[in-house]
Structure formats: C-alpha cells, structure tokens
Amino acid sequence: MNTVNVKSTRLLDEWLSCRTTEMASSQDVHVRICGQEIIKYDLEIKALIQDIRECPGPQSVLMDFNSKVKEKLNQLRLRIQNMEQMAKEQDRETDKQAILGETESHRRQNLSNQTAWRKANLACKLSIDNLEKDQLLNGGDSVRQRKATKESLVQTSGDITESLMSISRMMAQSVSQSEETIGTLATSSRTVLETDEEFKSMTGTIHFGRKLISKYNRRELTDKLLIFLAVALFLATVLYILKKRLFPFI
C-alpha cells in the first residue's frame, strides 16, 4: 500500500514537470533567418532610393530603378508576413509578443521607405524636367523635345499615381493586419488566463490527493496496530485456555 502511494505521488510530480517543459520552447531559428532577410531587403531598398535621388536621368534609368524598388518592396512585404505568421505559431506568449513587436517595427520601417521612395521620385523627376527645360532653351528640335517632355510628364504622373495607390493598399493592409494582431493578442490573453485558472484548480486537486494519501497511510498504520493487538489478545486467550485444560492444578 505504501509503495502504491509513493508511486502515485511521483507520477503526479512527473506529470506537472512534463507539462511545464512542453509549454517552454525556444525561438525558432527560422524567425532569425527571416529577420536577417528583412534587414537585407531594407538596406537594398534604401540604397536604391539613394540611387534615385542621385539619378541624373534619363527617364529609362529612373524607371529601371523604380522597377527594382517595387520588386524589393514585394519581397520585403512577403518576409514581414512570414514573420507575423511565425509569431502566431509560437508556443510561449513572451516569444509571440516579441516577434509581433519586431514585425510591427519592420512594417513601420517599410512604410517609411515607401514615403522616402515617393519623395525621391518626385525630386528626381523634377530634376530631369528642369534639365530638359534647359536643353529646350539651349536649342534643338523644339517640337521633338516638347513631345518628349509631355510623354515624360505623363509617365511621371502615371508612376506617381501608381506609387500612391501602392502605398494606399499597403497602409490598408497594414491596418487590417494590425486589427488581426490585436484580436490574436486578446485571444492569447484569454487563453493564458484560462490556463492559469486550470493550473490553480489542478494544484488544489493534487494537494487534496496528497492529503488523502497521507490519511490512508495513517489509517493503514492504525489498522496494523489494531490487528497486532487482536492477534496478541487471541494468542493470550488461547494460552490461558490451554493452561487451564492442561495444567488445572497451577
């Protein structure tokens, strides 16, 4: 009976230890790799924006820079979404909150890059327009230059409109993702509270079980003592009867 009680107590302790170990998990190495890729794309975008600021023209070169920036922005956006998904898959709440905070920081930096990109485009296109105006004033085929200028203005207007629309879509998506993140945090908080209540209830049950086991141990000792006294009384009675039957004269 004592062996069974000791094993029961040991199993309860081991079960609690396993539950604690399962809930504690280290941050996935993929999160660090994703963060390094985000930093790499961010630096590449900043370098391209600087190239756009310093671009002397013509429009074809500027369009090539803008095409590369769009490609890097798309890659950066996908990596940020991947990091956010990894955060939602974390087991520990502290890891999830840390990665979500890092994701939000990268997203704000991405929006800042887009704003800088738009300003660099405006400055570069203004510089190209001024250069073309100077060329027109200095001579040449005025009709051809005027036509090229109009085409450049149309292209510039189209690029700026596309950039603004892209920024608007990114901001709308960021707002939607932020709302989803807030909902996830609220759900996680409720889950943590429910888990805490469950552990409190489980701890009370375990303490009650230990008290019952201790009570049964004391009862077992009392039973053994009573059995010993009953056996001793029985043997004494038997010896007394035998003595009276076999040695009545004593």
Structure tokens at 102: 């890092």
Structure tokens at 166: 């892209």
The region of weakest confidence among 21-25, 124-128, 181-185, 225-229 is 21-25
The structural domains of the chain, with segments of one domain joined by +, span 8-136, 211-249
Q: Is 134 left (phi over 0), alpha (psi -120 to 50) or beta?
A: alpha
pLDDT grade for 132, boundaries at 50, 70 and 90: confident
Measure CA 53 to chain center: 37
CA end-to-end span of the chain? 46
pLDDT grade for 15, boundaries at 50, 70 and 90: very low
Residue 22's pLDDT is 44
Higher pLDDT, 154 or 144: 154
Higher pLDDT, 104 or 134: 104
Residue 25's pLDDT is 44
What is d(CA 48, CA 117) in angstroms, rounded to the nearest whole number? Answer: 9
C-beta of residue 111 within 8 angstroms of C-beta of residue 166: no
Question: Which residue in this structure is represented by tokens 């979404």?
Answer: 81
Write down the pTM of the prediction.
0.44
Q: Answer whether residue 93 shows pLDDT above 70.
A: yes
The region of weakest confidence among 22-31, 73-82, 126-135, 188-197 is 22-31
What is d(CA 157, CA 126) in angstroms, rounded to the nearest whole number? Answer: 12
pLDDT grade for 24, boundaries at 50, 70 and 90: very low
For residue 212, the SS3 value is helix
Q: What percent of the chain stands above pLDDT 70?
A: 83
Task: Report in angstroms the alpha-carbon separations of 197 from 14, 122, 191.
Answer: 20, 58, 10
Residue 3's pLDDT is 45
What is d(CA 78, CA 106) in angstroms, rounded to the nearest whole number? Answer: 12
Highest mean pLDDT: which of 2-11, 172-181, 226-235?
A: 226-235
Provide the mean pLDDT of the chain: 77
Q: Which helix (H) or strand (E) holds 81?
A: helix 59-88
Question: Which residue in this structure is represented by tokens 């087991």?
Answer: 91
How many distinct helices (H) and strands (E) make up the chain?
A: 5, 0
pLDDT grade for 249, boundaries at 50, 70 and 90: low
Residue 250's pLDDT is 59
Q: What is the mean pLDDT of residues 105-132?
A: 85
What is d(CA 129, CA 247) in angstroms, rounded to the nearest whole number? Answer: 139
Structure tokens at 208: 């009650």
Sequence letter at residue 138: N
Sequence letter at residue 172: A
CATH architecture for residues 8-136: Up-down Bundle (1.20)
